[in-house]
A and B are shown apart, each in its own frame.
Chain A
Amino acid sequence: MFGKLTWQAIPLHEPIPLISGIAVYLAVIGLVVWVVIKGYGPYLWREWITSVDHKRIGVMYCILAAVMLLRGFSDAIMMRAQQALAFHGGGYLPPSHFDQVFSAHGTIMIFFVAMPFVIGLMNFAVPLQLGVRDVAFPTLNSVSFWLTAVGALLVNLSLVVGEFSRTGWLPFPPLSELRYSPGVGVDYYCWAIQISGIGTLITGINFVTTILKLRAPGMSYMRMPVFCWTALASCLVIVAVFPILTATLAMLLLDRYLDFHFFTDTAGGNSMMFMNLIWAWGHPEVYILVLPAFGVYSEVVATFSGKPLFGYRSMVIATMAICIISMTVWLHHFFTMGAGPDVNAVFGIASMIIAVPTGVKVFNWMFTMYGGRVRFTSPMLWSLGFIVSFVIGGLTGVLLAVPAADFQLHNSEFLVAHFHNTIIPGVVFGLFAGYTYWFPKAFGFVLDERLGKWAFWLWVVGFWVAWAPGYVAGLEGMTRRLQHYDNPAWHPWMLLSALGVLIILAGIVAQIAQLVVSIRTRAARRDLTGDPWDGRSLEWATSSPPPVFNYATLPNVTARESYWDAKQQPRETTQPITSEPDYEPIEIPRNTPVGFVTAFLATVTGFALIWHIWWMVVLGLLGALITFVVFAWRDRTEFVISADEAARVDRANRAVRAESLLALAR
């Protein structure tokens, strides 16, 4: 009746998942009760859950990422504790659990922290920077978000119902085949990623279309902010490679469910093909993550140096070059699998070439700062921490690109240190910089700077204390993912690493404190002008937060930094920044529950597929079909904001802005 699902699936005999499961369950119930009691339900449904507004969806993506960061980081603490303790002993985590922990850690951090955070920032900022009202397909945007949330939900569900995958963040066969992983873990992983992968692909299509076809009048390609260029490059890579992930995981699922033989070790299967295809996706994936982070740095460094970004054209060329080259280097993840010197050499050289456009970008950021008046706000600190740390991580990457060196260091702690060294200072610092930078625009008040700086220093120091030992241990021969070890040379490094993770924990506590304190004192830190940082791009011309329609009239863009140029007019005149436009009625797409309903059905179908509850699968798919048809039958898709209403909102914002600008000028 319920397929493979029985009461044994609940981990009553395993304290860690049991206790954490109960704690999360109580927290969720508590949250729901609080929402119901306070009467926030209808508001949340109307304004957030069914919203198709890119600003709201962007915020929801970031909230999802932040919550999952806590889960992924708990896994990190568990792993570091285990490796610190498990010298000449078993530590506290049995191997089967340790395997699930490191698999969950990687899966959650890449798919449910980094991706949603990056997509959230793109969602929030890109339409505002392009001077338009929303993305090309707002309803699909909502569907994308909810499908990503389903993936996160399924992964977390595996903690309390069943088990998670033990095969690492990429499920290599033959270990991930049914014969060697008969449990539901790999299925949880595969279906969670397949479902959220559809959401990500839709996002990629949405943003490529938006950036290429939906920009304010006058905004030619070379007048777009660099963040939009990096968003475009990242989304082009998403569109190019996520189908490969979908196909490859589908092949693995076919092997597991229908006894196909793509990657099995019998009947002619070739498990090396999985490696080939999955890394053809996997390497471009990290560029999907890092390119928007580079875009954030471009915005932040230019703004806080008080200068236009140096070398705009070369930045654009470097971005698009990285976009293309990133899809030609994937074999460097399996130099040791035996393709031979010719193949290894070609991919090794390509992997080194890709460092060149990245270097161009780093020099451009440095030249932007040179001769500028640098303000060391926390977004700028995150960017500086990035430049110093990421360059080192990138250099270790170039070192690993040499096949002969990689033969020594493949799958060692050196490798683990390298990719954390590129992802944390590269992607995560960029996300934190973007979060701090755009927070006032999203919520109307600035985050506490002091706590922000504390968070930065704790993160950057903690990061180096945690990961520098990894390089040493790797060079001393330590392999990755060890549940226990006997080599005394590695032990002190593992202890140091655990200390580092505790320092990072303090950094995360500082970030949580920053948010709580800022919300508490938000009245005192209101951003009235909409432009708290003296910004350069169009989003700072709106109020904080912007009205639902972003711009009462689409701005007429005549230069690369239209808003900055407009501000350079003498500020002591009594004229507001822009003269009043001719207001016209504005059409806004209607909110719709289709994203949420799709997510619900996807959860049901995914869960049913994992546990082999076939009748539930059929019901779920039927529900999806009915939902599509019902949704397609809609007649009213938009509502109109009258010209008077738009005028009223806009005039109020202008008045506030004019007043505070005058106050500044006095």
Chain B
Amino acid sequence: MSTEVLRAPMSPSQLVPRAAAAGAPPQVTGHGAGGPASKRIIVGYGFWVFLLSDVIMFSSFFAAYSVLFKNTAGGPTARELYDLHNTALETAFLLTSTFTCALASIAVGQRSQKWTQIALACTAVLGVGFLTLEVREFARFVALGAGPSRSAFLSSFFTLVGCHGIHVTVGLLWLTTMMAQFYVKGFRTDIRHRFLCFTLFWHALDIIWVAIFSLVYLVGTLPPGFLP
């Protein structure tokens, strides 16, 4: 490449790709000057950028939660409400579902329909388990008079954690669609690309949950003197 740049003047034929030199495959520079990237890289990168934008949306809700944490309007506080056993169980479910999702991506790589469906089914079951625990927690709060309308703190809690729950729900809908597509259409390239996006999404949801269980539940139940 570098010798061509030094050769002057530019000839018009250089705007045209020369006939493949001795049939060699296109050079792979890995730095973008080698021509358009493969579909898989394009799809993966685009989805990665989307995930980062989603993380930024969550950070807005986190910011609101941090700012409004103390605005309990005389109502229940975090320390009074949060049940850490429930949180630990939810964490176990979600973390394990991330692992089974990773197993599913191995199965897809090996083109094994049976193991793909099994691993994805396990992921789905664990995801549903997570959601069930979360819905029960929300219902318990509402029954205690600590629904989202009680105070700004509770509004921000329900929104932040609820938004994550909505993402998990959407993820489960996506997951079942993927299971159906693999089953009916096999391991076609574009379906594998979509599955790559799904795995990125599912792992990212667990990353968000790490932030939630650490900074919402664990920090929220610290004694008042230790709160930042």
Contact = CB atoms under 8 A, between A and B. Distances in A.
Interface string B1-37: 1001100011111111111000000100001111111
B155 A569 contact: no
B52 interface: yes
Interface stretch (A44-52, A287-295, A506-514, A554-562): A554-562
A212 B153 CA distance: 41
Interface string A135-154: 01100000000000000000
Interface in A236-270: 239-244, 246-248, 250-251, 254-255, 258-262, 264, 266-270
A260 B36 contact: no
A262 B57 contact: no
A221 B71 CA distance: 49
A565 B9 contact: yes
Given A205-B49, A219-B33, A254-B159, A247 B60 contact: yes
Nearest to A221: B32
B194 interface: yes
Contacts of A629: 177
B35 A216 contact: yes
B146 interface: no
Contacts of B154: 261
B64 A262 contact: yes
B46 A555 contact: no
B173 A625 contact: yes
Contacts of B56: 239-241, 243-244
Contacts of A566: 10-12, 14-15
A314 interface: no
Contact of A217 (B12, B34, B46, B159): B34
A136 B42 contact: yes
Interface string B39-66: 0011001100110111011001101100
A267 B150 contact: yes
Contacts of A204: 53
- Interface extent on A, as a size class? 35 or more
Interface in A268-323: 268-270, 273, 277
A241 B63 CA distance: 14
B199 interface: no
A220 B2 CA distance: 12
A6 interface: no
B98 interface: no
B52 A239 contact: yes
Contacts of A221: 32
A554 B68 contact: no
Contacts of A582: 17, 19
Contact of A569 (B11, B61, B185): B11
A8 interface: no
A273 B155 CA distance: 14
Contacts of A578: 12-13, 15-16
Contacts of A246: 57
Contacts of A258: 148-149
A208 interface: yes
B100 interface: no
Interface centre among A244, A248, A262 (most CB of B within 10 A): A262
A555 B52 CA distance: 33
A558 B57 contact: no
Contacts of A574: none
Interface in A349-396: none
Interface string A198-222: 0001001110110011111111110
- Interface extent on B, as a size class? 35 or more
Interface in A563-600: 563, 565-569, 575-582
A267 B72 CA distance: 7
Contact of B17 (A223, A270, A556, A562): A556
Interface in B72-91: 72-73
Interface in A529-547: 541
B37 A214 contact: yes
A96 interface: no
B105 interface: no
Contacts of A556: 14-18
A285 to B, nearest CB: 14
A280 B112 CA distance: 47
B31 A220 contact: yes
A218 B54 CA distance: 33
A631 to B, nearest CB: 11
Contacts of A241: 56
A632 interface: yes
A558 B54 CA distance: 38
Contact of A251 (B53, B54, B149, B159): B159
A508 to B, nearest CB: 36
Contacts of B34: 217
A123 interface: no
Contacts of B210: none
A239 B49 contact: yes
A250 B148 CA distance: 14
A425 B134 CA distance: 52
Given A213-B42, A214-B36, A268-B71, A554 B17 contact: yes
Contact of A541 (B15, B71, B159, B194): B15
Contact of B68 (A219, A247, A254, A262): A262
A260 B26 contact: no
A132 interface: yes
Interface in B137-175: 148-156, 158-159, 173
Nearest to A567: B12
Nearest to B36: A214
Interface in A177-231: 201, 204-206, 208-209, 212-221, 223
A274 B137 CA distance: 28
B152 A267 contact: yes
A553 interface: yes
A213 B36 contact: yes
A637 interface: yes
Given A268-B72, A632-B177, A562 B35 contact: no
22 contacts: A208-B49, A217-B17, A217-B33, A219-B32, A239-B52, A242-B53, A243-B53, A259-B148, A260-B155, A267-B149, A267-B150, A268-B152, A270-B71, A553-B16, A558-B4, A558-B5, A563-B15, A569-B12, A576-B12, A578-B15, A632-B181, A637-B190
Given A261-B148, A269-B152, A566-B12, 17 more contacts: A204-B53, A213-B37, A217-B17, A217-B26, A217-B33, A218-B33, A218-B35, A239-B53, A247-B61, A260-B149, A261-B73, A268-B152, A565-B9, A565-B10, A576-B12, A578-B15, A579-B16
| 9 tightest A-B CB contacts, nearest first | A268-B71, A243-B57, A247-B60, A268-B152, A217-B35, A260-B155, A565-B10, A220-B33, A268-B73
Interface of B: 1, 4-5, 9-19, 26, 31-37, 41-42, 45-46, 49-50, 52-54, 56-57, 60-61, 63-64, 67-68, 71-73, 148-156, 158-159, 173, 177, 181, 185, 190, 194
